[in-house]
Amino acid sequence: MKEEFNIISNLIEENTRVLDVGCGNGDLMKFLQKNKTKDIRGLEISKEKVQNCLSKGLTVIEGNAERDLKQFPKSSFDYVILSQTLQAFLNPELVINELLKVGKKVIVTIPNFGYWRVRLQLLFKGTMPVTENLPHEWYNTPNLHMCTIKDFYNFCSTKNIKIYKSIALKKSRISEINKSNLNYKNLDSHLGIFLIES
């Protein structure tokens, strides 16, 4: 988690306006508030988590990204962050489009379903993968649309979404993703982090 926060923080310029979509208990918000910018908001679907955030004095709105991102004006944030949440939406494409409208730049992080540990489970055990990063069973997972780093990379090029920066994370090892190492990074990383723009 800490590594991901550091990478996200490094992608953000100081004193900019940031929206964290699916902000959970506000850990990333707190981290960015301390390190980057005071001007940070959150959107979260769980009442309990929203209450936790508000209790810490964080500005968070209870809401659903698929429905409630519309209320923010176009380009009203310098950065919109979606950390490990894209796979949980009914319609991830719609959410990405909304994020790109609201934010001048968007940071999306993706638990990589192409990671070799994940692939091996399905290949050898023949069961849906359960890993440290994807701890749920098939019957109780909130993840409806799992994808791989490669899937997201291809999605961006098909939809003409500009990728500013793409970073692969394996444990605490950070590396850049590019066209030539895409297949390898897709196999060897547990998390992908993308800085994109429409």
- Residues lying near another protein in the complex (CB under 8 A) are found at 17, 38, 41, 47, 50-51, 53-63, 71-73, 76
Q: Closer to another protein at the Cβ: 26 or 192?
A: 26
Q: Closer to another protein at the Cβ: 101 or 117?
A: 101
Q: Across-strand partners of 173?
A: 170
Task: Read off the tokens for 140.
Answer: 């109780």
By three-state DSSP, how is residue 123 classified? helix
Backbone angles phi, psi at 107, to 5 degrees: -110, 120
HSE, side-chain direction, 13 A CA sphere, residue 76: 12
CB contact set of 85 (below 8 Å; sequence gap of 6+): 21, 22, 65
CB of 15 to another protein, least distance (A): 13
72 vs 138: CA distance, rounded Å = 34
192 vs 186: CA distance, rounded Å = 9
CB of 61 to another protein, least distance (A): 4
Q: Closer to another protein at the Cβ: 38 or 125?
A: 38
Q: Closer to another protein at the Cβ: 47 or 171?
A: 47
CB of 128 to another protein, least distance (A): 32
68 vs 151: CA distance, rounded Å = 26
Query: Among candidates 167, 181, 187, which has minimal Cα distance to 5?
Result: 167
Q: Closer to another protein at the Cβ: 49 or 150?
A: 49
Q: Closer to another protein at the Cβ: 43 or 161?
A: 43
Task: Read off the tokens for 26.
Answer: 């506000």
CB of 80 to another protein, least distance (A): 13
